[in-house]
Amino acid sequence: MTDPSYSAFIHTYPAYETTFSIDELRAWDYARLDASRQVYLDYTGAGLYAESQVHAHHKLLEEHVFGNPHSTNPTSQAATHLIESARASILKFFNADPQEYLVILTANASGALKLVGESYPFSSNSHYLLTFDNHNSVNGIREFAHRDGAQVTYIPVALPDMRVQDEHLLSALAQAKPGTHNLFAYPAQSNFSSVQHPLEWIELARSRGWDVVLDAAAFAPTNRLDLGRWKPDFVPISFYKIFGYPTGLGALIARRQALAKLHRPWFAGGTITVASVQGGKYYLAEGAAAFEDGTVDYLNIPAIEIGLKHIESIGIDKIHTRVVCLTGWLLDNLKKMHHSSGEALVRIYGPTTTDRHGGSVTLNFFDPHGMPIDHQFIEEAASRVNISLRTGCFCNPGAGEIALGISSMELAACFLQPGHQQRLSYDDFRLCIDGKASGAVRISVGLVSNFADVQAVLNFARSLVK
């Protein structure tokens, strides 16, 4: 007999039926997931790999001889060929014109962001603008901006939806400094609230004199990013978030024109055409090479192309549809849960519908008296029933502070306390904001999530209702 909740789910989200091929795929290519009875709900943390990806990569390594790239010998050429092929497949996946964009291979999205931060021509005349809602690896660029005397401005997000208000955005974008370099950075999808900030901002900002960093690390795994249509200057991504394997590889997809503005603060093996000891001079290589320090990860890079082909064989739109359906069901049901006292079981941070919303739901659980239940307690309890979810602030302190109502005054008081100038442990921080939740719980669905996964976490949530 069909589970009545499943029938209700399909009735509400009929598009889920168009994604059934993913259930078949999960059964044979991700068999370890059900065999080990793991309920994986941390896709914003990391995607999962298909077993076929690993086999294809291992087969490639077993059957070929690869040497250090960029020499003319045959084993080196074999490696170079696969690296160039990986770059081309990345551009193709994002529909980026190779005349306009190029791919710099990095260790992860953070590595891509650091390249922009350390090389961007900040000066005392320039401006770094970013949303409160940003990963720390985007926040960290402000330290390069500060070092060079640039102005740094944060645009707030507002509760309950945690979106940016138009007037705040427009007045901030009007502050580009003329005749100099201005950088604006925001996430296409928040890794905290899963809000999808408008891609229309890219053109809005560029037409007002900003270079745009579009952080696509959380967006790319379950949404189509079409660089034929949208033209950000810099796009950082991590591949393990899209297809799970390999880890340790990401990319900075950069507009060639914007890249020409960047200047590396050092040189290394591989990044120069000529460097001299006696002459005391060096000449940076052209294009991507100037940004890839030393020997690239040439044995793992071919696995990027294998991963991208895997996603293409499923279809990013199908993955997107599935994620929207599952997220919708999760939101609909969590919103309904109340204690007998009438208190809501959860408070959701961010939109409570799937409109411009990605595949994660971030929330805190509350007891029947309306007091927050510690997020670490929730993670431990979920782990006992094999549910992997993530708790904390997900390296997004700006969104976390807004969601949890932690004010700048409270933070200043905490950071200025004796002993807190140089070091502050997480426990000290919790003491500072005594009584408030210091983090949240993030449940995220992705590529091979299914109805049973979502029901498992809903059953877990129901077990907390008193």
Catalytic site residue from 393, 395, 414, 432: 395
Query: Per CB under 6 A, does 354 bind ligand PLP?
Result: no
* Pick 106 or 354: Cβ nearer ligand PLP: 106
CB of 207 to ligand PLP, least distance (A): 25
Taking the C-alpha atoms of residue 427 and residue 425, their distance in angstroms, rounded to an integer, is 5
* Pick 25 or 220: Cβ nearer ligand PLP: 220
Is the backbone peptide bond immediately before 98 cis, with ω within 30 degrees of 0?
A: no
CB of 199 to ligand PLP, least distance (A): 15
Query: By rule CB under 6 A, what string of x and - marks binding of each residue 96-135 to ligand PLP?
Result: ------------xxx------------------------x
Query: Per CB under 6 A, does 137 bind ligand PLP?
Result: yes
Taking the C-alpha atoms of residue 448 and residue 187, their distance in angstroms, rounded to an integer, is 24
Whether 432 is a known active-site residue: answer no
CB of 110 to ligand PLP, least distance (A): 3
Position among 191, 194, 364, 438 found at the interface with ligand PLP (CB under 6 A) = 191
Query: Per CB under 6 A, does 440 bind ligand PLP?
Result: no
Query: Per CB under 6 A, does 217 bind ligand PLP?
Result: yes
What b-and-e string marks burial along 419-435, b requiring 16 or more CB atoms within 10 Å of the CB? eeeeeeeeeebbebbee
CB of 461 to ligand PLP, least distance (A): 24
CB of 303 to ligand PLP, least distance (A): 16
Beta-bridge partners for 391 = 441
Q: Decide if 218 contacts 44 (C-beta within 8 A).
A: yes
* Pick 215 or 233: Cβ nearer ligand PLP: 215
> Which tokens is 58 given?
């291992």
Query: Per CB under 6 A, does 300 bind ligand PLP?
Result: no
Beta-bridge partners for 238 = 250
CB of 74 to ligand PLP, least distance (A): 34
Q: Decide if 137 contacts 110 (C-beta within 8 A).
A: yes
Query: Per CB under 6 A, does 218 bind ligand PLP?
Result: yes
Query: Per CB under 6 A, does 162 bind ligand PLP?
Result: no
Position among 69, 117, 187, 372 found at the interface with ligand PLP (CB under 6 A) = 187
Query: By rule CB under 6 A, what string of x and - marks binding of each residue 227-266 to ligand PLP?
Result: -----------x-----------x----------------
Position among 133, 161, 211, 215 found at the interface with ligand PLP (CB under 6 A) = 215
Which is it for the CA torsion 257, 295, 78, 108, positive or negative? negative
Pairing of strands 182-187, 127-131: parallel
Q: Decide if 318 contacts 22 (C-beta within 8 A).
A: yes
Segment 44-63, which members bind ligand PLP (CB under 6 A)?
none
Task: Name the residues that contact ligand PLP, by CB under 6 A.
Answer: 108-110, 135, 137, 187, 191, 215, 217-218, 238, 250
Give the residue numbers marked as catalytic: 395
